């Protein structure tokens, strides 16, 4: 097997532009890796090899003429199966969408194609990205453990090398959650930077389309490739050109008291504290910044998300309710039962936090808030609870949402970057910054990543010669 699949996006893009590598060669290596790993990983819902090869050949033909579509010219990518890709199924992990073929690309996919990307296929997700049910994707670090939030296929595919980068959606952490669990980098961009058109929504207010990749540099390249032109303008230009230009030693805020309130496990705290020491050695100033108000985000986020989910799913439930998972139906029905007063209170909390958190950060001269991404390592799948109201520290969806929802509720950018291991499982470092300061958030993550080697770890449980069974190709 050729080893081009091991390349990061930025490295491969450079070789493609210098014509030291062809798009077809890169795609062949990725497809070989997919074939070798999919029997274990089950990350893919649909692989369109024919369309991928056609796009790769077109990329090479353009390159032979000295023409390049954009920074992602010839780079193969995967897309979470709640995001439309023209001519491919959009089934969202649900029987109610079985056989539905997208007629148009989602906004983010359209931008990726315009920048030269090769869209290879669709990646597994929990039903409609609600976190319910059990997708077939398996944790590459431990087959018995939870493989991540609803962008699970995106995380697993990137982790095992069957695609160098992928799109996910993040309503309450579902890009950053599987990134942390799989030892990857996952970014939730600032609200409005990346189009959410063509997405099967949980919540149009809370949903963000974001990238998962093996490095900060690769996530930055993907953000540049998927952002709308107006989004790039809001970010002050392409972030790839900014991430190594952090001006001066940044101040980073931490609230260790709330980590205790969130029930963060000792092994996770230890890994994050080591990461903070690395950042301090790099010249970052770590300051204690109490922000107990962050804990208001979970309940407000749930109320807004589920009330909006009712709007998005009402018509389909009217005709296909029996084809939804019962747990998904219950979540949507819970949204329908929310009172106008509860929803109004949730919106008031959102408005409050959107102004309060940035103001506190500015007063403290803090450029970012740093914390663990998740309260614990990946739980065993058999004990994972999908309840939204479980207690802190439990193996539950709520435990993850509690720590990550603030970024979705406020629209602030946030990234998870690998920072070590606890009991043999990856731990993520979470960095959240001011609205439209995505470049600053990524620059801090990049500085940390360049000083460590955690992002270079490859899951050991996926063998290169694993037998692929039932791989979904067309």
Give the residue extent of every domain in the chain: 4-238+254-456
Residue of 154, 162, 174, 203 marked active site: 174
Residue (of 217, 184, 229) closest to 13 by Cα position: 217
Whether 391 is catalytic is no
Q: In what order do the strands lie in the sheet with 285-288?
A: 44-47, 118-123, 76-80, 165-170, 208-213, 185-188, 414-422, 425-433, 368-372, 251-254, 285-288
- Which secondary-structure segment (H or E) carries 29? helix 23-41
Which is the catalytic residue, given 29, 94, 137, 150? 150
* Residues recorded for the chain: 474
The CATH number fitting domain 4-238+254-456, selected from 3.30.9.10, 2.40.30.170, 3.90.1300.10, 3.90.870.30: 3.90.1300.10
**What token pair was written down for 356?**
């309060």
Q: Judge whether residue 386 has pLDDT over 90.
A: no
- Model confidence, pTM: 0.95
- pLDDT (tens digit, 9 = 90+) per residue, 410-460? 999 999 999 999 999 999 999 999 999 999 999 999 999 999 999 988 775
Question: What local confidence, expressed as pLDDT, does residue 472 receive?
Answer: 45
162 as an active site residue: the answer is no
Residue 116: pLDDT over 60: yes
- Per annotation, catalytic residue among 29, 80, 94, 215: 80
pLDDT in tens, 321-370: 999 999 999 999 999 999 999 999 999 999 999 999 999 999 999 999 99
Helix, strand or coil, per DSSP, at residue 419: strand
Residue 377 has pLDDT above 80, yes or no: yes
150 catalytic per annotation: yes
């Amino acid at each position: 097997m050729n080893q081009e699949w091991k390349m990061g996006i930025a490295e491969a893009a450079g070789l493609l532009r210098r014509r030291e590598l062809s798009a077809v060669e890169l795609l062949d290596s990725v497809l070989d890796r997919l074939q070798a790993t999919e029997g274990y990983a089950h990350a893919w819902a649909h692989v369109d090899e024919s369309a991928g090869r056609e796009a790769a050949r077109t990329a090479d033909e353009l390159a032979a003429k000295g023409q390049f579509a954009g920074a992602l010219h010839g780079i193969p990518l995967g897309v979470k199966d709640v995001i439309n890709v023209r001519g491919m199924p959009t089934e969202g992990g649900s029987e109610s969408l079985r056989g539905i073929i997208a007629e148009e690309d989602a906004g983010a996919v359209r931008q990726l194609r315009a920048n030269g990307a090769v869209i290879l296929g669709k990646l597994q997700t929990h039903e409609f990205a609600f976190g319910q049910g059990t997708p077939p994707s398996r944790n590459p670090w431990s087959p018995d453990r939870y493989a991540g939030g609803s962008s699970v296929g995106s995380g697993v595919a990137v982790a095992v090398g069957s695609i160098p980068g992928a799109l996910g959606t993040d309503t309450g952490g579902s890009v950053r959650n599987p990134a942390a669990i799989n030892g990857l980098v996952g970014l939730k961009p600032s609200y409005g930077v990346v189009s959410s058109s063509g997405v099967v929504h949980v919540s149009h207010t809370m949903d963000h389309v974001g990238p998962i990749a093996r490095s900060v540099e690769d996530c930055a390249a993907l953000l540049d490739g998927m952002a709308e032109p107006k989004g790039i303008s809001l970010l002050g230009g392409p972030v790839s050109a900014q991430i190594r230009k952090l001006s001066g030693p940044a101040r980073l805020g931490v609230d260790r008291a709330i980590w205790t309130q969130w029930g963060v496990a000792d092994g996770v705290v230890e890994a994050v504290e080591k990461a903070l020491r690395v950042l301090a050695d790099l010249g970052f100033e770590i300051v204690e910044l109490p922000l107990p108000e962050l804990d208001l985000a979970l309940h407000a986020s749930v109320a807004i998300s589920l009330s909006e989910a009712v709007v998005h799913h009402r018509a389909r439930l009217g005709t296909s309710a029996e084809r939804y998972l019962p747990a998904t139906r219950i979540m949507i029905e819970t949204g329908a039962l929310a009172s106008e007063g509860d929803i109004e209170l949730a919106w008031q909390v959102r408005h409050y936090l959107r102004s309060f958190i940035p103001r506190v950060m500015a007063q403290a001269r803090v450029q970012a808030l740093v914390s663990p991404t998740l309260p614990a390592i990946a739980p065993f799948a058999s004990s994972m609870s999908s309840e939204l109201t479980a207690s802190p520290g439990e193996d539950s969806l709520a435990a993850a949402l509690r720590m990550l929802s603030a970024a979705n509720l406020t629209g602030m950018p946030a990234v998870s970057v690998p920072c070590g291991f606890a009991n043999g499982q990856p731990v993520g470092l979470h960095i959240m910054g001011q609205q439209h300061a995505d470049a600053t958030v990524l620059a801090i993550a990049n500085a940390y990543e360049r000083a460590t080697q955690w992002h270079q770890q490859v899951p050991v449980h996926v063998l290169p010669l694993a037998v692929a069974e039932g791989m979904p190709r067309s």
